[in-house]
Amino acid sequence: MRISDYIQVIIFISALVLLAPLLGAFIAQVCEGQKTFLHPALSWLEKLTYKIGGVNPNEEMNWKEYTKSLLVFNLFGFIFVFLLQVFQSSFGLNPQSLPNINWHSALNTAVSFVTNTNWQGYAGEVTMSYFTQMLALTVQNFLSAATGIAVFIALVRGIKKSGKTLGNFWQDMTRSTVYILLPLSILLAVALVGQGVIQNFSSYAEATTIEGVKQIIPGGPAASQIAIKQLGTNGGGFFNVNSAHPFENPTAFSNFLQMLAIILIPAALALTYGRMVGSRKQGWTIFAVMFAVWFITLVGSIASEYMTNPTFQQAAIMEGKETRFGVVNSLIWSTVTTAASNGSVNTMHSSLSPLAGALAMFNMMMGEVIFGGVGTGMYGMILFVLLTVFLSGLMVGRSPEYLGKKIEAPEVKMALLGILAPCACILIFTAISAMIPAGLSSVSAKGGPHGFSEILYAFTSATANNGSAFAGLNANTPYYNVMLSIAMLVGRFIVILPVMAIAGQMLGKKVSPVSAGTFSTDNALFGFLLIGVIVIVGALTFLPALTLGPIVEHFLMINGQTF
């Protein structure tokens, strides 16, 4: 690494650590329904939403009502995105006259955007009309993220409050959209256009290049979608190659803004959590855990990428990377996008050195709790926190308590379900796909372990609701479209349901006062325990699979073996 690389890493980290607490404080105000500086400008929009929806935002819901309204809202979102795609050619804003999309690709994309995965089985520039990009995809970029924040708020209320009700889903979701996601997206989109991200409704220009080749140059309202794609940890690109595309990410500074946008809200939410439970130290402890694990994966990725590859006798290989970003920005991005469940890419993960690819996978395999998705990262992390409290309780022989509330069998069972169901989904679906022709025929790496890595990465990414890929895999087939859809649904809703159940359970518990024997959850000791539990669950579950894929690849690579 050169000095310029260190400087860029340090600037990125400084910006994150400075901005996260500010945003975290603001989000806490929004979540708790306090007036913010944006209310004079935007509260009419919030009120209008309730009026048009015909809902009373002050009507409190119990956890079942809250969950039902969330599920119905997401179901309608899914149907809407699906229908807009399969009837795409009937709508306007389609200057390239792109045809209707087939059912299995539309199914995959609809599930993908509603679950905040934003896996791209399609190539945006030759598949999606501007109408579909805006009214189907951009919208779910907002609403799936807002849904994640709503679940997070509900869980915090369950932990903090006593009583029977968790608040109102419509209110939490609308406030998240109106006061958090929309203003930040407008800011970021304008900044990105200033850097040269395109935003137009033109039909594709036909250029004749200097050497006389025809080149079709795409257009579209990209900046507005890219801003929320990053802020909402969505990650679905406007174009096929996502944020490596010079129209999506034209400069090193647009790259910096996008990397920061990917991780900012998830990081801020850890600190929001501390404020909402009334102890900022709780928030900083979780933030520190997330930061430490992410930082280790960054250092590991850089070390791996800078290792000399004997086949080419070069280190820091530029295959799949863009000149304007260079190696270090590609690796900050690959770790940030997989730690946060964003999944947009500025470099081709399949062409990373094997261990950097393995670390990208491992970030997702830990359950997307290292920052994780907007809302999802924190509620996933709280599952691990409960598990850690429970295990610590067993070790010292005390009945486990978290923030004054007893952790009992039902909560632990639910936490385990939310943690283990996605793990099982990844391993079982990968195993099936590695054995049957429909799974194997999509693999692009013909020999050696990389083909297995492609499959493992796909199911990891879908289940973790990440959306990045080892894109050599041809996943736009009926088999993969359907299997990955199931994986995305498991990874989203078999986590949300247990989380909501825990919120409901915790709500009914009495708060006992802090005593000398209370196990504290806001210090370094707890931080280390939490890291231990997250890493051990991830490592024990996935090390065998990683060994068959990228780890074997690494050892073959350093011996100069090619396939």
Partner 1 sequence: MKHFLPAFRILLFLTLVTGVAYPLLITGIATTFFRQEASGDLILKNQQPIGSVKLAQKFASPKYFWGRPSAIDYNPQSSGGSNLSQNSLDLKKLYDERMVTLKAANPSQLENPPQDLLFASGSGLDPHISPAAAQYQIQRVAKARALNSSQLEKLVNDMTKDRQFGIFGEPTVNVLSLNIALDAQGLLNKE
Query: Rule CB under 8 A: which of 462-481 touch partner 1?
Result: 470-472
User: Shortest approach of partner 1 to residue 399 CB, angstroms?
Assistant: 38
Q: Is residue 440 at the binding interface for partner 1, with CB under 8 A as the rule? A: no
Q: Residue 203, interface with partner 1 (CB under 8 A)?
A: no
- Return phi, psi of residue 217, to 5°: -105, 115
Q: Quick one: which of 17, 22, 123, 543 contacts partner 1 (CB under 8 A)?
A: 123
- Give DSSP secondary structure letters for 270-304: HHHHHHHTT-HHHHHHHHHHHHHHHHHHHHHHHHH
Residue 116 or 285: the one with the smaller Cβ distance to partner 1 is: 116
DSSP letters for 176-231: IIIIIIHHHHHHHHHHHHHHT-----PPPEEEE-TTS-EEEE---SHHHHHHHHHH
Among positions 172-201, residues that touch partner 1 (CB under 8 A) are 174, 177, 182, 185-186, 189-190, 193-201
Residue 145, judged by CB atoms within 10 A of its CB (0-12, 13-18, 19+), counts as buried
Which of positions 85-104 make contact with partner 1 (CB under 8 A)?
none
Binders of partner 1 among residues 349 to 378 (CB under 8 A) are: 350-354
Residues 267-326 that bind partner 1 (CB under 8 A): 309, 311-312, 314, 316-326
Q: State yes or no: residue 252 binds partner 1 (CB under 8 A).
A: yes
Q: Give whichever of 188 and 293 is closer to partner 1, judged by the CB atom.
A: 188
Which one, 25 or 86, has the nearer CB to partner 1? 86
**Contact window for partner 1 (CB under 8 A) among 18-26, 30-38, 140-148, 500-508:** 140-148
Determine phi and psi for 328, rounding to 5 degrees: -65, -40
- Estimate the crossing angle of helix 252-276 against helix 280-305, to 10 degrees: 150
CA distance 485 to 81: 14
Q: Choose which of 107, 223, 496, 500 interacts with partner 1 (CB under 8 A).
A: 223
Q: Which of 345, 374, 378, 500 is close enough to bind partner 1 by CB under 8 A?
A: 345
If binding is defined by CB under 8 A, does position 245 make contact with partner 1?
yes
What is the enclosing helix (H) or strand (E) of 151? helix 139-160
Could you tell me the smallest distance in angstroms from the CB atom of residue 264 to partner 1?
17
> What is the smallest separation between the CB atom of 485 and partner 1, expressed in angstroms?
20
Q: Cα–Cα distance between 313 and 36 in angstroms, integer? A: 57
Q: Does 121 bind partner 1 (CB under 8 A)?
A: no
Q: Residue 106 or 316: which CB sits closer to partner 1?
A: 316
33-66 burial, b at 16+ Cβ within 10 Å, e below that, comes to: eeebebeeeeeeebeebbeeeebebeeebebeeb
Q: Measured at the alpha carbon of residue 480, what is the angle toward residues 553 and 369, in degrees to the nearest 5?
A: 65
**Contacts by residues 10-16 (CB-CB < 8 Å, ≥ 24 positions apart):** 11/256, 12/256, 12/259, 12/260, 12/332, 13/295, 15/260, 16/260, 16/263, 16/264, 16/267
- 213 versus 516: smaller Cβ distance to partner 1: 213
Which residue's CB is nearer to partner 1, number 7 or number 524?
Answer: 7
Nearest approach, Cβ of residue 231 and partner 1 (Å): 12
Binding mask 42-61 for partner 1 (x = CB under 8 A): ---x--xx--xxxx------
Q: Does 506 bind partner 1 (CB under 8 A)?
A: no
